[in-house]
Structure 1
Amino acid sequence: MTHEQILNSLKENIQLIYRQSVDADQAIASLKEQDKAKFSAIFGDNTPFRTRSPLFLVHVEELAADLLALQQSNDDDDFKRTLAELVKKIEMMFKTLQAFKQGLK
C-alpha cells in the first residue's frame, strides 16, 4: 500500500469511529441524567491515549490530530512509528465502542 492509500483507509476508519462515538456520547449523556454513568475516563492510564475523558469524541479529536501528524511526516521511520501508534489507538477505540454498545443491551 502507498502512504496515500494507508492515509485514506485511516480516514475512513476514523470517520466510522466518529459516527459511533457520537452515538456513544449520547448514550453516556443519557446514563448521566439517570445517575448511572459513574466513570471519569473511557481509558485508564495504561493506554496509548494521552487524553483522559469520560466521552469518546475527545478521543476522536486525538485520533484526528495523530492522523494530521502522520500526514505531515517527512521521514519513513517516523511515518511507520506514528502509524503503528495510531493503528493501536484505532483498534482500541473500535473494541471499546463495541464493548460499550454491548454493555448497553
Structure 2
Amino acid sequence: MLAKKLKEDPSKFDGQTIDLQGWVRTNRNSKKIGFIELNDGSTFSNTQIVYEDSLPNYTEASKITLGSAIGVKGKVVVTPDGKQPFEIHAEQIEVLGAADHD
C-alpha cells in the first residue's frame, strides 16, 4: 500500500493491518517503545511507525539506520488529537536494505 492512499482518508483504514515499504527518515527509541518516520516516495510527508518492546526483533529495529529500506506490517490507528492524523503500530519490521552509518 502507498502512504498517499492512506493519507487521503485514514479513517477508511482504521484498525486494518497493512503493509508498507519505504526509507527510514528518523528512528528514535527508548527501552520500551520506538518511533520510525517512514517515507515511501508517494508523498512529501512521512508516516509514523510505532514499535514496542513486544516486537520480536525490537533490538534490531531500534538500530535501523537513517536511509535504510524497510518493510512494515502493522495496524492503522487514527489519531485525531495527535500531530499526525494516523500512525502505524508495527507487528513486523523487516530490513530490506541497510544503510551505512555514514
Same fold (TM over 0.5): no
Larger Rg: 1
Q: Give the strand-richer structure, 1 or 2.
A: 2
More helix by share: 1
TM-score by length of structure 1 reads 0.23
